Amino acid sequence: MEHGTGATGGGTGGTGGTGGAGGKTPDPLRQLPLDRLRRRTSAKWRAYPADVLPLWIAEMDVPLAEPVAQALHSAIDLGDTGYASGTEYAEALDAFARSRWDWRVPVERTALVADVMAGVVEALKLINRPGDAVIVNSPVYLPFYQFVSHLGRRVVEAPLTEHGRIDPDTLAAAFRTAGPRAVYLLCNPHNPTGTVHTAEELAAATELAARHGVRVVADEIHAPLVLPGARHVPYLSLPGTERAFSSMSASKAWNLAGLKAALLIAGSDAADDLARLPEEVSHGPSHVGVLGHAAALREGGPWLDALLSGLDENRRLLGELLHRRLPRVAVKPLEGTYLAWLDCRALELGHDPAAAFLERGRVALSSGPSFGTGGAGHVRMNIATSPEVLEEAVDRMARAL
């Protein structure tokens, strides 16, 4: 497994968090035992029987960051459970982005949406019509296919390279055949490969999009989850992205999927498009979710940094475990997210190795083929868990062979 050696993707940001000895925030991944996690009722813990280790869906095995918990308790105590309103979330994201990425979020060009994919859908409705093309870099997050298809749009794949990078020639070919009003749906950082696109890669894609008249919508839900050795580049921070959109959220970085809230952000030349967003879209986000997300961005910096440190340790541990127990499984260098993309083709487990690992090893992983072209023979593993669970999962996978 390859790893970088640089600093984390940005500064510390924020002032809250749960203090440990000497004021240091403890690793959130080492705080919850498995028996307590199994008391949860979310999708991760209810989709499979109790003897299965669930490392599939993007939920983390962590407690809530203390600033988030405080914000939620305060809202409940006040009965502050009405409709979402205001710019608190956008202002918190702006402060976070300035601290982490030296980028200003234009608060006046933001809109509250229910979640990142809801923001993507609304952006597509504004600039793309039924029957039009939406280009994606496969293998990519399954809902890209689902939501685009349900909108009546055509998915056009521009597969990543074998190393998980954007291929300019492949992207250009997709742009040429896409037709009018095409949109490039960019996953930045990329799910499931864990690739963090560089400024140079994004600039090349932006230039190609401009040349072919393609608009860009970026899903940047994993933006805060960039590990040592890489740095997130907010898509709208680049020249030439004035007509683009970005959909962002604190959801993945602070494990807040159940607190529905996100922001759709418009480039400077897309402001008129954003102004056409139907008013009822603002009814989707949860007011309590907005409060929790804003608290995470404002005060959850130390908690996030402790999480990133724990994820860095887990990616190293995963490499060691695979080398020792499953040496024929290759893993893409994990630069961002907490989702490892495992190449199991050498194991000869067929099109969908996840099925074999579930049946024989009682480990639930995400099925590679569901991520589109390039996913066959692969699985996606969620490493946002304790080292003990990670080690047990790899042991079970090895025994399954």
pLDDT digits (tens, 9 = 90+) for 365-379: 999 999 999 999 999
Q: If you average pLDDT over residues 322-346, what whole number do you get?
A: 97
In this structure, what token pair is assigned to residue 341? 């993309």
> How far is residue 36's CA from residue 389's CA, in Å, rounded to a whole number?
13
- The answer to whether the 21-64+301-399 and 69-299 domains have the same CATH topology is no
Q: Is the peptide bond before 369 cis (omega within 30 degrees of 0)?
A: no
Terminal CA-CA length for the chain: 21
In this structure, what token pair is assigned to residue 74? 């305060």
Task: Decide if pLDDT at 14 tops 80.
Answer: no
Q: Phi/psi class of residue 377: alpha, beta or left (left: φ > 0; alpha: ψ in -120 to 50)?
A: left
pLDDT of residue 23: 67
DSSP string, 220-249: -TTTT-B-TT-----GGGSTT-TT-EEEE-
Residues 271, 126 contacting (CB under 8 angstroms)? no
SS3 labels along 19-59: CCHHHCCCCHHHCCCHHHHCCCCCHHHHCCCCCCEECCCCC
CATH level 3 topology of 21-64+301-399: Aspartate Aminotransferase, domain 1 (3.90.1150)
**Tens digits of residue pLDDT in 82-126:** 999 999 999 999 999 999 999 999 999 999 999 999 999 999 999
Q: Which CATH class is domain 69-299?
A: alpha beta
Q: Is 310 helix (H, G, I), strand (E, B) or coil?
A: helix
- Cα-Cα-Cα-Cα dihedral sign, residues 268, 270, 275, 281: negative
**Tens digits of residue pLDDT in 272-299:** 999 999 999 999 999 999 999 999 999 9
> How far is residue 61's CA from residue 78's CA, in Å, rounded to a whole number?
29
In this structure, what token pair is assigned to residue 293? 């997300």
DSSP string, 235-299: GGGSTT-TT-EEEE-SHHHHT-TTS--EEEEE-GGGHHHHHTS-GGGGGSSBHHHHHHHHHHHHH
Q: For the whole model, what pTM was predicted? A: 0.93
> How far is residue 133's CA from residue 178's CA, in Å, rounded to a whole number?
6
The domain locations on the chain are 21-64+301-399, 69-299
The total number of residues shown for the chain amounts to: 401
Task: Decide if pLDDT at 20 tops 70.
Answer: no
**Tens digits of residue pLDDT in 151-172:** 999 999 999 999 999 999 999 9
